[in-house]
């Protein structure tokens, strides 16, 4: 049974167990939660690692190279660059066969760092690869249309760091920084980051840019955070609704000027909304 607040060591143990049992596994959790960090710690015989599966041909060539490194791709004594050159114009199908023919069923585990850029053809590739390979990979969420490729995958949710783990990470990142009120700063970072390690690292880095990490600097940083942007977006959307309503009202009372003005207003707001969306990171 998985305890909801199981720490990272426990998660790693679960993944390692799946790896040795050759169970396809999918780590699920938001960006920055530490999926890649966990996958990077996996190490065993017959483990191949690639970053992603797209573009597909590139990914297949990377897998082939990994297989070649571990002596599984024929001819073993030829440079991989030469093999690659010779097969460079071959189809995706040919490369897929080459990779699949190099191994026996469940001989190797393929670790794919991130599948967030999933496409239908990547989905089909997963189906083919999983005939021979055990696949361990990570995603922030599975879209309904791609569920079918993962039906036999064991799913492991990666939750935020536990408070002691988060405090540890804050302490590590803050080493050497002069912090006026450590307890207040720590509490603040715990709240702001919600236990997301990438958020913790970024907030501490941001704070370290201040000439001095004073209480007010800590408070300031929270005001320039992402939350502001969301609030502003809400304000623009509300304004937009009001203007659109005004437009109907003006038409209702037969005011042509009001109608046109409200129309212009809503166009401007739609524009603002568009650019806010575009420039959100």
Instruction: Kindly list the residues in this chain that would bind Mg ion in the complex (CB under 5 A).
Output: 35-36, 114
Under 8 Å between Cβ of 118 and 143 = yes
Judged by CB under 6 A, does residue 46 bind ligand ADP?
no
Q: How many residues sit in the footprint of ligand ADP (CB under 6 A)?
A: 13
Is 130 near ligand ADP (CB under 6 A)?
A: no
**Quick check: helix, strand or coil at residue 47?**
strand
Report if residue 194 touches ligand ADP, rule: CB under 6 A. Answer: no
DSSP state of 144: G
How far is residue 183's CA from residue 161's CA, in Å, rounded to a whole number?
A: 18
DSSP label of 180 = S
Other residues' Cβ atoms within 10 Å of the Cβ of residue 281: 4
Distance of CA 22 to the CA centre of its chain: 24
32 binds, among ligand ADP, Mg ion, none (CB under 5 to 8 A by kind): ligand ADP
By CB under 6 A, is residue 208 in contact with ligand ADP? no
End-to-end CA distance of the chain: 37
Q: Is 195 in the site for ligand ADP (CB under 6 A)?
A: no
Name which of 26 and 61 has its Cβ closer to ligand ADP.
26
Q: State the Cα–Cα distance between residues 169 and 154, nearest whole angstrom.
A: 28
Taking a C-beta distance cutoff of 8 angstroms, is the pair 200, 170 a contact? yes
- The alpha helices in 70-158, defined as continuous H runs, are 80-87, 92-101, 120-129
Greatest distance between any 2 Cα atoms in the chain:
85
For residue 240, the partner it binds in ligand ADP, Mg ion, none, with Cβ less than 5 to 8 A by kind, is none
Which range in 32-40, 67-75, 149-157, 185-193 contacts ligand ADP by CB under 6 A? 32-40
Cβ closest to ligand ADP, residue 137 vs residue 266? 137
Comparison of 31 and 234: residue with beta carbon closer to Mg ion = 31
Q: How far apart are CA 236 and CA 34, in angstroms?
A: 34
Between residue 144 and residue 173, which ones bind ligand ADP under the rule CB under 6 A?
169
Query: Which is nearer to Mg ion, 54 or 233 (by Cβ)?
Result: 54
Instruction: Confirm or reject binding of residue 33 to ligand ADP (CB under 6 A).
Output: yes
Instruction: Please report whether residue 8 would count as binding ligand ADP according to CB under 6 A.
Output: yes
Q: How far is the CB of 162 from ligand ADP (least distance, A)?
A: 10
Among 28, 92, 201, 236, binds ligand ADP (CB under 6 A): 201
Q: Summarize as ranges the residues that interact with ligand ADP (CB under 6 A).
A: 8, 29, 31-37, 169, 197-198, 201
């Amino acid at each position: 049974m998985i305890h909801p607040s199981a720490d990272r060591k426990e998660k790693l143990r679960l993944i390692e167990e799946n790896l040795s049992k050759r169970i396809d596994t999918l780590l699920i959790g938001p960006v920055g939660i530490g999926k890649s960090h966990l996958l990077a710690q996996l190490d065993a015989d017959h483990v191949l690692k690639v970053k992603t599966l797209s573009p597909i041909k590139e990914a297949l060539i990377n897998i082939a190279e990994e297989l070649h490194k571990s002596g599984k791709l024929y001819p073993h004594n030829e440079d991989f660059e030469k093999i690659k050159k010779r097969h460079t114009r071959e189809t995706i199908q040919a490369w897929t066969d080459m990779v699949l023919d190099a191994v026996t069923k469940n001989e190797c585990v393929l670790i794919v760092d991130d599948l967030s850029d999933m496409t239908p053809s990547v989905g089909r590739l997963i189906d083919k690869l999983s005939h021979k390979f055990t696949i361990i990979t990570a995603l922030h969420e599975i879209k309904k249309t791609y569920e079918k490729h993962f039906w036999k995958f064991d799913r492991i949710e990666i939750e935020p760091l536990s408070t002691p783990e988060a405090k540890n990470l804050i302490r590590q990142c803050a080493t050497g920084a002069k912090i006026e009120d450590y307890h207040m700063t720590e509490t603040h970072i715990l709240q702001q980051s919600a236990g997301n390690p990438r958020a913790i690292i970024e907030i501490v880095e941001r704070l370290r840019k201040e000439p001095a990490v004073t209480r007010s600097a800590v408070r300031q940083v929270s005001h320039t955070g992402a939350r502001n942007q969301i609030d502003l977006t809400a304000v623009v959307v509300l304004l937009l609704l009001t203007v659109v309503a005004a437009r109907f009202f003006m038409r209702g009372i037969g005011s042509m000027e009001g109608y046109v003005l409200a129309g212009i207003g809503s166009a401007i707001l739609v524009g603002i909304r568009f650019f806010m969306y575009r420039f959100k990171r």
